Amino acid sequence: MKKNDSAFFLRLPESRGVKGLWQLLSGYRLLYIVALVSVAFASLSRTLSLLVIRYLVDDVLVSKTVLKELPLMAVLFAGLAVLEGAGLFLKGKFSAMAAEGAVQRLRDFLLDHIQRLSFTYHDHTDSGNLIERVTTDVDILRKFYSEKSIAVGRIVSLFIFNLAGLLFLNVKLGLVSLLFIPFILFQSWWFFKKISKRYEDYQVQEAKLSSVLKENISSIRIVKAFARQSFERDKFEKINYGKFKKGRRVILLHSLFWPVSDILCTTQLLFVYYLGARMAIAGDISIGTYISIAGMVVWIIWPIRNLGEVIIDASQAFVSYDRISKIVSQKQEDSGDTDTGNELFIRRGEIDFSGVNFSYSSGEEALMDISFHAEAGSRIALVGTAGSGKTTLINLLPRFYDTTSGTITIDGVDIRSIPRSGLRRQIGIVEQEPFLFSRSIRDNIVFGAGADVSQEAVVEAARAAAVHDVIMGFPKGYETMVGEKGVTLSGGQKQRIVIARTLLKNPKILILDDATSSVDTKTERAIRQALSALLKGRTSFVIAHRIQTVMEADRIIVLERGRIVEVGSHTDLVSNDGFYRKVFDLQMGGEGENV
């Protein structure tokens, strides 16, 4: 995606309706105009064919030279047919090129934009809803550009040329043919207003269904393990039935539109046919004129009838455009991206939390008056019960969230003055739940490196994470493909690959969020031994549920309900009668309670 595309798309919410849809075609408008001109050319050829029919019936067929003129008439008809076909072909080609180009650019931007939105936004936005907008809503816009809006050009050009032809042949019949047009247009407008809201409700319900389906498939092991298939089926059926009811309301309007529209159009046609026939019998118009008028009125009435369909279908495009605009209107995170990405914002890694408070958007206080100092290269362990604020605290370091009050500094610099992208490039994170992309093992390991990495460096990182031998046990080694979230690997194997990915990044600061929870005791010991050497020189934060993992930390911080209640080394804390000592006694006594 080009850099200036971002600024272009961020202005989209300023425009709505037809103006917004036209703005979205910026860069492809010339192609679209060519498509519209082509379809107008095809419509003109159609009208000319009907005028040629009048000439054929009234002049050629009664001429003494009819046998000589018929071949010429055949060539003329064939030529007009070829011109019409060429116009329709060019219309289809250029409208498709414009539509595909515009929506490809839009999809590229939406993915980039969604990745740049804040964690707060993602916390409150359903992923299925986002997927629905990037796929279904964008595809509706594609169909609108390639099929529906270009059909408006064909309908309008057919109406103009054929109405001109009717007025040329007989002004009275030309005006009579317009008698029911206002009623048809009013009907279309009324249905458009009604169906827009219903279709928006339908799309919202469809997004809910996609979310439930995605969640069910992703958690299929848990569903089966707890034998909750029936519960999940009933939940899906309930939401699916809601989609069915909303879809039925949309279909009901469609089913009402067509009969009413057909009655109006057929009545208009019959009236013109009847009046024209009487005029032909009375000798007011010729037979050829009557035949041409009969053909032209069809290409006025039925296209207008189809215009109603296009107007109704356009409501879907307007709804989709508004839904996409709502995403685009969300403010992006100020990442501070640079061209090179090599700026070293962190020199030593000395970290200070000073009077830090943090509340989520719901108003819930997660951290209160957090203050501590971490020496460069030191290892800080965070201990506490679930919900005590451990993960929230470390999420403030890479600025996934900004503090409500107080300051966090790295090497004396307030992290709020450091661009997020530069800051995050120098912080390595191993999450509690390991995530692997559906790529090769090697691609997953080098994901965070941001540059070409030698195989030797990849192997070294894998060895340090105690996963090299496991990888070499697969037939394709490092080129082995892993499924979504690495489902072909065990939890411990996935976690060690994630650790290798973080180590290869060579960050200044390392965050291990319960990184060894998915491995057995033997594997955890091997990883700890490997990390003990690699963590030297890096400031690291470790969240762990096992006392053995935090015992060697330079400093242990115990959190309770968002506050620091104990600080010290392992030796200091076990000598006090506090939370840490109680958990230590339980785990060393074999109870195994998590911290």
Nearest alpha carbon to residue 408 among 355, 353, 359: 353
> In angstroms, rounded to a whole number, what is the distance separating the alpha carbons of residues 565 and 586?
19
For residue 570, pLDDT beyond 60: yes
Interval 502-528 mean pLDDT = 75
Last residue within a domain, chosen from 264, 294, 328: 328
Helix (H) or strand (E) holding 546: none
- Check whether residue 262 and residue 392 sit in a common domain: no
State the residue range of the domain holding 414. 348-426+551-595
Residue 364 and residue 319 in one domain: no
Q: Does residue 183 register a pLDDT over 90? A: no
Token representation of residue 158: 């057919």
- Clarify whether residues 319 and 387 are in a common domain: no
DSSP conformational letter for 28: S
Cα separation of 192 and 204, whole Å?
18
A 10 A CB-CB count for 423 gives 22
pLDDT in tens, 487-503: 578 777 888 888 888 88
Would residue 200 count as lying in a domain?
yes
pLDDT tens, position by position, 98-145? 999 999 999 988 988 888 888 888 877 877 778 888 888 899 999 999
Q: What is the mean pLDDT of the chain?
A: 83
pLDDT tens readout for residues 19-40: 888 888 888 999 999 999 999 9
Question: How do residues 328-363 score in pLDDT, each as one tens digit?
Answer: 888 887 765 544 444 556 778 899 999 999 998 767
Q: Is residue 454 part of a domain?
A: no
Contact of 187 with 180, CB cutoff 8 Å: no
In a domain, 500, yes or no: no
Question: Is the same domain home to 375 and 246?
Answer: no
Q: Decide if 197 is inside a domain.
A: yes
Q: Which amino acid is at 139?
A: D
Residue 410 resides in a domain: yes
Give the CATH number for residue 270.
1.20.1560.10
Q: Are residues 288 and 408 in the same domain?
A: no
Are residues 258 and 135 part of one domain?
yes
Identify whether residues 314 and 352 lie together within a single domain: no
**Domain count within the chain:** 2
Same domain, 352 and 324: no
Residues 270 and 188 in one domain: yes
CA distances from 399 to 59, 383, 480 (A): 84, 21, 34
- Shared domain for 312 and 352, answered yes or no, is no
Q: How confident is residue 481, by pLDDT bands cut at 50, 70 and 90?
A: confident
Last residue of a domain, one of 299, 328, 357: 328
562 pLDDT above the threshold of 60: yes
Residue 469 has pLDDT above 50, yes or no: yes
Residue 323 falls inside a structural domain:
yes
CATH no. for residue 383?
Answer: 3.40.50.300
- Domain annotation covers residue 216: yes
Q: Are residues 268 and 400 located together in one domain of the fold?
A: no
The answer to whether residue 586 sits within a structural domain is yes
The reply to whether 149 and 188 lie within a common domain is yes
H or E stretch at 540: strand 539-543
